[in-house]
């Protein structure tokens, strides 16, 4: 999104306990992020497929020319805000062919920069928000040799039936946690971590003056950064014998299990209705 996030993410992976990250290609901070990643090919990263914009002070739009994706735009001709009303309006009108144009543009921009991502995931739309969007993403992942982060249980069940690795337990998003006492909460969550494959989506940022000026969520990001880079975090992982893996491990299994020619019919039942 912006430089303070880029810096904190790199530090959280290189010096902290984070193992992978995601890139929001349409954002103002993306060119800098891609340069940072190009100098660090060891860092696994995904493409955070983006159809919404929640930061009016540093706005972004689609990569594709707006006249080619009108169904992705609000009445003012901008990307929708990811409020409940904004998400509902977007998902009600967005055409799948226009979503594919934009998703491909975001994936291709990363490839054109000489970078090799590991997976696809979604910004502010759990599993893409609709079954057909998730299906499209799985097809694109197969074409590009990537994995897909699948969050909600209907999608996870569908992926398991295909023998694809998904989390065994509920997905954790740091924006759902209390800021007060977050470090202690994180430490206890690690101590109570259930067996199996778990995934946490954390959102580190330095929380500097720039962050505070443009991002109302900066306290969430700052407290994430503080814990991820803390000695306490590493100590708990060691004490609890928690193995941290990255998305290259997941990508290898996906790429071996899925190919475009094997994708016949929907991956997720199309009559399940929109995912929220």
Which tens digit of pLDDT belongs to each residue from 198-221? 999 999 999 999 899 999 989 999
CA distance 123 to 59: 15
- Structure tokens, 245: 């893996």
Contacting residues for 105 by C-beta, under 8 A, at least 6 apart:
62, 63, 64
CA distance 44 to 102: 23
* pLDDT value for 259: 58
* Stretches in the chain below the pLDDT threshold 70: 258-276
- Model pTM? 0.89
* pLDDT value for 163: 81
* pLDDT value for 265: 46
CB 125 within 8 A of CB 84: no
Instruction: For the chain, report the end-to-end CA distance as a whole number of angstroms.
Output: 23
Which tens digit of pLDDT belongs to each residue from 227-256? 999 999 999 999 999 999 999 999 988 887
Q: Tell me the domains of the chain and their CATH numbers.
A: 3-167+244-265 (3.20.20.370)
* Exposure string for 41-63, b = 16+ CB within 10 A, e = fewer: eebbbbbbbbbbbbbeeeebbbb
* pLDDT value for 134: 93
* pLDDT value for 260: 52
CB 177 within 8 A of CB 196: no
């Amino acid at each position: 999104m912006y430089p303070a996030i880029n810096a904190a993410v790199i530090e959280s992976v290189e010096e902290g306990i984070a193992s992978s990250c995601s890139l929001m290609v349409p954002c103002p901070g993306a060119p800098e992020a891609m340069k940072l990643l190009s100098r660090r090919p060891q860092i696994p990263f995904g493409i955070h497929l983006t159809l919404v914009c929640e930061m009016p002070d540093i706005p972004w739009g689609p990569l594709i020319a707006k006249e080619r994706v009108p169904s992705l735009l609000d009445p003012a001709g901008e990307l929708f805000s990811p409020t409940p009303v904004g998400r509902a309006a977007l998902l009600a009108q967005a055409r799948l062919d226009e979503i594919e144009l934009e998703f491909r543009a975001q994936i291709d921009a990363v490839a054109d920069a000489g970078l090799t991502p590991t997976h696809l995931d979604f910004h502010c739309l759990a599993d893409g928000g609709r079954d057909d969007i998730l299906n499209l993403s799985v097809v694109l992942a197969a074409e590009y040799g990537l994995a897909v982060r699948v969050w909600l249980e209907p999608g996870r069940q569908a992926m398991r039936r295909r023998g694809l690795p998904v989390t065994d337990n509920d997905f954790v998003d740091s924006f759902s946690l209390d800021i007060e006492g977050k470090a202690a909460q994180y430490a206890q969550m690690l101590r109570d971590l259930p067996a199996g494959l778990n995934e946490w989506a954390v959102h580190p940022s330095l929380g500097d003056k720039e962050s505070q000026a443009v991002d109302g969520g900066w306290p969430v990001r700052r407290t994430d950064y503080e814990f991820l880079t803390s000695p306490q975090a590493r100590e708990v992982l060691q004490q609890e014998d928690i193995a941290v893996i990255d998305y290259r491990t997941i990508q290898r299994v996906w790429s071996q299990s899925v190919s475009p020619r094997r994708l016949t019919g929907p991956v997720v039942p199309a009559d399940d209705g929109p995912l929220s």
